């Protein structure tokens, strides 16, 4: 490969890598925190609601979840790596009753960890 082709390939690869974080940052950029200051319950609820809506728009959960506007339960639990926030959203309109509950997990400072239907 000639030096110009190598430079062009390197430039395109770097541009692709730089574009990925910008695309990822999108709507959840306001819910990414640094430092060690614990997040307030209101902050975590806002981030969890926003993430639930992203799951709906990304077709990861049924559209009926859009109508669920606030969590049924908010608690701090002992997770695998220490304290975590666990927010439980409940959707009685869920077609699959095994997926009637949606759990979202956050670090104490408010960063997303995971989402599932098991609570584990």
Which residue in 22, 71, 23, 66 sits closest to 46, CA to CA?
71
Domains of the chain by residue range: 1-29, 32-116
* pLDDT tens digits along 23-48: 333 345 579 999 899 999 999 999 99
Q: What percent of the chain has pLDDT over 90?
A: 72
User: What ranges make up the beta strands (E) of 27-96?
Assistant: 73-79, 82-90
* pLDDT tens digits along 103-115: 999 999 999 999 9
* pLDDT tens digits along 3-18: 444 444 333 333 332 3
Beta strands 101-106; 73-79: pairing state: unpaired
């Amino acid at each position: 490969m000639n030096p110009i082709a190598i430079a062009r390939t390197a430039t395109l690869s770097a541009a692709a890598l730089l574009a990925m974080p910008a695309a990822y940052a999108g709507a959840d950029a306001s819910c990414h925190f640094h430092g060690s200051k614990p997040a307030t319950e209101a902050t975590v609820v806002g981030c969890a609601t926003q993430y639930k809506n992203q799951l709906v728009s990304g077709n990861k959960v049924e559209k009926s979840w859009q109508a669920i506007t606030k969590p049924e339960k908010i608690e701090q639990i002992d997770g695998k790596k220490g304290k975590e926030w666990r927010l439980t959203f409940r959707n009685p309109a869920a077609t699959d009753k095994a997926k009637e509950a949606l759990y979202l997990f956050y670090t104490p400072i408010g960063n997303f960890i995971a989402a599932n239907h098991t609570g584990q």
